[in-house]
Amino acid sequence: MSMEYSTTTQTTITPHSQQPYITRTYPSLSQVEATIIQASEAQKSWAKVGLDERIKIGWKFIDEFQALSETTELGLELTLQIGRPISQVKSEFAGFLDRGRYMLSIASQSLADVPIEENPGFKRLIKRVPLGVIFIIAPWNYPYLTSINSILPALIAGNAVILKPSPQSPLTAERIKEAMDKAGFPKGLFNVLHLTPELTRKAVQNPLVGFVSFTGSVVGGRNVEEAVVNSSKEGKAETGFKGVALELGGKDPAYVRKDVDLDYAVGELVDGAMYNSGQSCCAVERIYVHESVYDTFVEKYVEKVKQSYVLADPTLPNTNLGPVVSLASAARIRKQVEDAVKAGAKKLIPEELFPEAKVGTTYVAPQVLVDVDHSMDVMMEETFGPIIGIQKVSSDSEAIKLMNDSPYGLTASVWSSCSAPFDDGEEGDGEDAFMKIADGIETGTVYLNRCDYLDPALPWTGVKNSGRGVSLSRFGYDQLTRAKSVHMKFSTPKSSG
């Protein structure tokens, strides 16, 4: 990521200009511990506040953040932190609000006591009780969208929250806190900490932290999980067996069937691969196309990429493709493409169409690769850039096999009018054909005719190296609470004799 570290501060570097933007000072370990203690004390009082009142304050937060999001300042500062074009930042604010509203709308039902059918003389129910202090570690690429998935549900469920933003996007967490304070959440309940890796580890291991939610890289997720596991080995058995949610990377595939609406699929899959310069965990990174439509699909896809993008300074209103986040990221993406070409892949987008994309800058041109296979990193390892590999397949079965041949499993998409039966020869209606494919794919979410989208009514989850745990939907509330069984007996059987 684009930032500079010292022993006491972090400085965010604006991706496109490589100039320092904002500096934050790290707290001491004692200050971190004091913040966690304060959060724990605030949570005990907050848990006693009625659910209806908590939800009411949550709606005030939505109003406050909406007012904040309508200012020009908020959009520009997001662009200067992460490099997304100014023309595209408001969609993240809208998504933040949509997810927050949905989770508030289902809170009463999701957190209500669950009664068990009556048994004469007994009453039984299951309560959802908060976990205590939730420590949330947020990424830089969608700092608002990913944070809201856990922050608001955690608070409404009766928890306290400590948010550690990425050093690439520190102001986003502070803006959320600004809206939280205006909404009336109690002092000490929601906290923002800018932390070094070592201070982050200490916070994860703190015994007052009841749950850790991490969104980021596979390496980062492993570090968080190991910090929890190793805390008992370091004489910190009081840490207990706290839960960890890991929302990690992806190498998300798409399969274009022979009965596809080509023009529609091309437009959606170009956007799904290139939006935010491909810097999304659920961006489309590899496409498998049925051989009967392969040539036409590739031709249309390449033309769409050539015609659709202006790669330039992200603060300019006409720019729709910005830089990647850092010089290191740009170099890694270029190397992945170069390695694929050396191994036999072919580049279809002329580099001269995007003159800003010079070596030594954070500007990376969009690229379409063909003649690719799974011996190449570009089809196996996360790219996190505006690069797509397209591979020909001969059947649904081959597509499923290749889609599953990956260490990741976050989302996958199928593009089809569902007019052709599954290629095992069985007949059935269109939905049956899609479901046979969907059932065979190892993934957290499978789409038909859409991609790179998160519906808050559905659980967001991954398999394999894409992580574990659930956010959003009613299952997201389950993750941020624990079940507490209540078993009451009202009559005592008479003793015999």
Distant-in-sequence, close-in-space partners of 328: CB < 8 Å, separation ≥ 6:
none
pLDDT value at residue 431: 81
Number of domains in the chain: 2
Catalytic residue among 247, 268, 285, 382: 247
Q: What is the CA radius of gyration of the chain?
A: 24
Can you give the pLDDT at residue 422?
Answer: 85
pLDDT for 6:
63
- C-alpha 57/C-alpha 45 separation (Å) is 15
User: Would residue 494 count as lying in a domain?
Assistant: no
Beta bridge partners of 256: 289, 415
| Pair 308, 345 in one domain | yes
Angle at 359 between CA 354 and CA 365, to 5 degrees: 30
315 in the same domain as 205: no
Cα 128 from Cα 157, distance rounded (Å): 8
The answer to whether position 496 is within a domain reads: no
Confidence at residue 420, expressed as pLDDT on a 0 to 100 scale: 83
159 in Cβ contact with 188 (< 8 Å): no
Same domain? 219 vs 322: no
pLDDT of residue 369: 98
* Ranges of the chain with pLDDT below 70: 1-6, 232-240, 424-430, 492-497
- Residues 266, 221 within the same domain: no
286 and 390 belong to one structural domain? yes
Whether residues 129 and 212 fall in one domain: yes
Beta strands in 328-366 (DSSP E): 346-347
- 207 is a domain residue: yes
33 labelled catalytic: no
**Residue 272: C-alpha distances to residues 69, 277, 278 (Å):** 25, 10, 8
> Distance between CA atoms of 115 and 121, rounded to whole angstroms?
15
Residues 6+ apart with CB under 8 A from 318: 87, 310, 312
What pTM value is reported for the model? 0.94
Q: State how far Cα 279 lies from the chain centre.
A: 11
Supply the pLDDT for residue 99: 98
pLDDT given at position 398 = 97
456 falls within a domain: no
Task: Report the CATH number at residue 343.
Answer: 3.40.309.10
Q: What pLDDT sits at residue 438?
A: 96
In angstroms, what CA-CA distances link 268 with 46, 192, 275, 301, 364?
Answer: 44, 37, 10, 10, 21
pLDDT tens for 440-484 read 999 999 999 999 999 999 999 999 999 999 999 999 999 999 999
CA distance 411 to 408: 9
pLDDT value at position 432? 86
Asked whether residue 453 is domain-assigned, the answer is no
Cα dihedral value 300, 303, 305, 310, nearest 10? -150
Residue range of the domain that includes 379: 252-448
| Torsion angle, alpha carbons of 112, 113, 118, 124, to 10 | 170
Question: Within a domain: residue 281?
Answer: yes
Closest CA to 382 of 253, 289, 266: 253
**Does 480 lie in the same domain as 375?**
no
Contact present, 227 and 220 (Cβ < 8 Å): no
135-172 confidence digits (pLDDT tens): 999 999 999 999 999 999 999 999 999 999 999 999 99
Instruction: Compute the distance between CA of residue 181 and CA of residue 137 in angstroms, rounded to an integer.
Output: 20
pLDDT score for 3: 52
Residues 108 and 57 in one domain: yes
Structure tokens given for 244: 């960890």
pLDDT value at position 2?
A: 52
Q: Which residues contact 354 (CB under 8 A, 6 or more apart)?
A: 309, 311, 363, 365, 366
CATH number at residue 227: 3.40.605.10
pLDDT of amino acid 383: 98
Residues 216 and 260 in one domain: no
| Burial environment of residue 335 by CB neighbours within 10 A (0 to 12, 13 to 18, 19 or more) | exposed
Residue 379 lies in a domain: yes
Of 360, 362, 407, which is closest to residue 381 (Cα–Cα)? 407
Residues 235 and 380 occupy one common structural domain: no
- Within-domain flag for 492: no
Q: H or E segment at 354?
A: none
Cα-based distances in Å from 454 to 62, 97, 209, 410: 19, 13, 28, 11
Instruction: Find out whether 470 and 478 touch, Cβ atoms under 8 Å.
Output: yes
Are 239 and 354 members of one domain? no
Could you read off the pLDDT of 166-185 as tens digits, one per residue?
999 999 999 999 999 999 99
Do 167 and 223 lie in one domain? The reply is yes
